[in-house]
Chain A
Amino acid sequence: MTPPNILMVEDDPPIRTLTARALQEHGYIVRTAGTAPQMWDALRAAPTDLLLLDIMLPGTSGIDLCREVRRTSDIPIIFLSAKGTETDRIVGLELGADDYLAKPFGVRELVARVRAVLRRHAIERPLADRERGLIRFDEWTADLPRRQLTSPDGAAVELTGAEFDLLVSLCDNAQRVIARERLIELSRTRLGDSSDRSIDVLISRLRRKLSVPDRPAPIVTVRGIGYMLNVPAERL
């Protein structure tokens, strides 16, 4: 299998070189571009598996570039931004970026995000036509790009990264029992913080956070095997 081909668009030469070197050390093929025209040339020149896009580029904004790229391609995009405000993150994700990384980022974090986005894209690609990235179950809505959960009465419900990923795994296998071991395995490949919380703790937290006064959270324990989301989940 050929290593994934990453195109990095960043106007600061040292950051470009340092990031490219770090990604290459982790086995990726990296090409770089310093401006928008260079990016278009590079996209035409060779197939690209992932785009790392700096939001603040000379002349054009990465946000506009992202919009243009999205018109013709569903190539995964990770935004890199020195702005780092929550609103920027949301704007980026709404434009169809797959993830958002605030500067200054470390190599480990970058590699984890790249890996997660590529993996998600590989799994989701068979589903073809790009979804809005919403999962609906039992009147709850999970917004995958924003990593946000909305309750049946419309309130924003905030989960930790690990809890959100676990919930998504449960939804992806809705109404099917998932073995604890499989859930642990799924959560290992998860990006971000190195939490080694046991699945049982995460499940009990999820249950509390997903409970509604008149009904319990739709997560059931299957004794000796694992857990199950006992309502249908629909991808939108």
Chain B
Amino acid sequence: MSLVEKRGFGLFGQIVAILFAAVLLESAASIFLYERASQFSINGDKARRLAEHLVLSGKLIEEAPRSERNTVASELTTTRYHLVWQERLVNPPPVSPKLNQITRQILAWEPEIQKRDLRLYLQSPGLHSTISGAIRLNDRSWVSFSARDHVRQLDLTLGRTLQTLVPAIALVLLASLLIRHTLRPLRDLQRAAENMGKRDFVDVPMRGPTEVRSVIGAFNDMQHRITAMIADRTQALAAVGHDFRTPLSRLRLRADSIADPAVEAAMEQDIGEMERMIDSLLAYLSGDIDNPTEPLAPTDIAVMCATAADEASDRGHRVRYAGPNHLVLPVHGIAIKRALLNLLGNALRFGTEIEVRLRSGDRRIEIEVADDGPGIPEHQREEAIQPFARLDSARARNTGGFGLGLSIVDRIARMHGGSLELGQSHLGGLAARLRLPAA
């Protein structure tokens, strides 16, 4: 299987694309902003006054000796314009759009200024915008100036701030959407990894950037391999279980010809135990518990419980049934009977007095198998339901099984949408409660 079915942009490519888009947007916004500023104009009167002042000041400062130029500049400073003489040009602060339109207006009034390399900027030191700029003198020093009165027309600080912020916010939103989209396949992968082993595996759809695709491909392959491996092992184990039955059959037939009845009985007991272990192993491994072949069919659960109790008491055990005479529920009858017999078998192994109780409520019914055995301490009950559980307590002695009984019951309960709960019984031992949803 090819890891990459469709060529997409790599994760790297996508991130570069996102950055590129961001930069592009940012530039577009700036260009727009600066272009607008350069189109600002002032009224003719103001422009002429500024032009005259600049020409005059330029000449006066130029004529003064260098040592006095600062003084001349401060003398020329009026209520309207602030003048400073500088050896070289001080660059304007970064966000200072050029005012091309106003420059043209001034040059129209005083063409002489052209040779002075006039520069005009829009500056916003505080809340308001002012016009500032510089002109060059013949000896390559500069007079920079700024208008004292703020340009109301150009009072765009807030607008400009917004204009810078809006694209930035849009950019962040756009980028996060794009990144989220890029990372979505990774989330699918994460979910699939979390669900692995919990349900049937599903191939994660192949999408997203190249790198993510190849990870998904590798993950899917891994899922296939693990599933196949588990299936192989399960099959091998089940085959071993089957194969044990033949030598066990021979053994049982041979045991019949043993003269000593005590030895024969002991041997029969061992064979019986091995047989039960194989049965539980095969039941656990067969898919029948999770995907039963037998259909749901109405079954009299009450009679089933009573009969299980009757059969055990016919074999000489103290088992009684308490509950209604009839309770019909659509279930997988063979599976429920297996669950019931597993619970009863457990109770018989650990207790001497057993009660099978059936209770029915509006929403669920409960089959309880209670014994007077040692019970299971609360902190070990969860563990006891796990497959191959061996509890390190009184229950563990002579367990005579693989510890699969309760886990099989649990799976049968869940297959029916019910549950298995272990608790304290009224007889002093364990109470195993199999709950099924009522029809």
Question: Which A residues lie within 8 Å of B256 (CB)?
Answer: 22, 106-108
Does B203 reach chain A (CB closer than 8 Å)?
no
Residue of A84, A86, A104, A155 with most partner-chain B CB within 10 A: A104
Complex: chain A residue closest to B250, CB-CB? A14
A–B pairs, 7, beta carbons within 8 Å: A82-B245, A83-B242, A87-B293, A104-B248, A153-B328, A158-B307, A160-B310
1/0 contact string of A11-37 vs chain B (CB within 8 Å): 010110011001000000000000000
Chain B interface: which of A128-136, A173-181, A204-212? A204-212
Within the complex, the shortest CB–CB distance from A194 to chain B, in Å, comes to 9
Does B413 reach chain A (CB closer than 8 Å)?
no
Within the complex, the shortest CB–CB distance from B155 to chain A, in Å, comes to 89
Complex: chain A residue closest to B249, CB-CB? A104
Q: Are B307 and A104 in contact (CB under 8 A)?
A: no
Name the contact of A156 in the complex, choosing from B250, B298, B325 (C-beta under 8 A): B298
Within 8 A of B (CB), among A61-83: 82-83
Q: Are A155 and B299 in contact (CB under 8 A)?
A: yes
Beyond A82-B246, A106-B256, A158-B304, whether A153 also contacts B298 by CB under 8 A is yes
Q: Give the interface of B toward A (CB within 8 A).
A: 242, 245-246, 248-257, 268, 271, 275, 279, 282, 286, 288, 293-294, 297-300, 303-304, 306-307, 310-311, 314-315, 325-326, 328, 333-334, 337
Q: Are A155 and B242 in contact (CB under 8 A)?
A: no
Name the contact of B288 in the complex, choosing from A87, A155, A158 (C-beta under 8 A): A87
CA distance A18 to B251 in the complex (A): 10
Q: Are B242 and A82 in contact (CB under 8 A)?
A: yes
Q: Are B314 and A195 in contact (CB under 8 A)?
A: yes
Q: Are A159 and B253 in contact (CB under 8 A)?
A: no
1/0 contact string of A92-115 vs chain B (CB within 8 Å): 000000000001111110000000
Q: Are B307 and A209 in contact (CB under 8 A)?
A: yes
CA distance A160 to B257 in the complex (A): 30
Sort chain A's interface into a size bin.
35 or more
Within 8 A of B (CB), among A144-158: 151, 153-158
Beyond A86-B334, A151-B300, A193-B315, whether A104 also contacts B310 by CB under 8 A is no
Q: Are A158 and B337 in contact (CB under 8 A)?
A: yes
Within the complex, the shortest CB–CB distance from A28 to chain B, in Å, comes to 15
Q: Are A15 and B337 in contact (CB under 8 A)?
A: no
Question: Which B residues lie within 8 Å of A157 (CB)?
Answer: 300, 303
Q: Are A103 and B249 in contact (CB under 8 A)?
A: yes
1/0 contact string of A194-206 vs chain B (CB within 8 Å): 0101000000010
Q: Are A104 and B326 in contact (CB under 8 A)?
A: no
Q: Other than A82-B242, A106-B253, A193-B315, give 17 A-B pairs with Cβ distance below 8 A.
A: A14-B250, A15-B250, A19-B253, A22-B253, A82-B245, A82-B249, A155-B298, A155-B328, A156-B300, A159-B307, A160-B307, A160-B311, A162-B314, A163-B307, A195-B315, A209-B300, A209-B303
Give 9 nearest A-B pairs by CB, closest first.
Answer: A18-B253, A104-B249, A82-B245, A107-B256, A155-B298, A195-B314, A104-B248, A155-B328, A104-B252
Does A2 reach chain B (CB closer than 8 Å)?
no
Beyond A82-B242, A107-B253, whether A154 also contacts B298 by CB under 8 A is yes
Within the complex, the shortest CB–CB distance from B77 to chain A, in Å, comes to 107
Question: Which B residues lie within 8 Å of A153 (CB)?
Answer: 298, 328
Within the complex, the shortest CB–CB distance from A22 to chain B, in Å, comes to 6
Name the contact of B314 in the complex, choosing from A83, A105, A158, A193 (C-beta under 8 A): A193
Q: Are A205 and B249 in contact (CB under 8 A)?
A: no
Within the complex, the shortest CB–CB distance from A120 to chain B, in Å, comes to 22
Question: Which B residues lie within 8 Å of A208 (CB)?
Answer: 306, 325
Question: Which A residues lie within 8 Å of B250 (CB)?
Answer: 12, 14-15, 18
CA distance A79 to B296 in the complex (A): 27
Q: Are B299 and A156 in contact (CB under 8 A)?
A: yes
CA distance A19 to B299 in the complex (A): 38
Q: Are B252 and A105 in contact (CB under 8 A)?
A: yes
CA distance A86 to B328 in the complex (A): 21
Question: Which B residues lie within 8 Å of A163 (CB)?
Answer: 307, 310
Question: Which A residues lie within 8 Å of B306 (CB)?
Answer: 205, 208-209
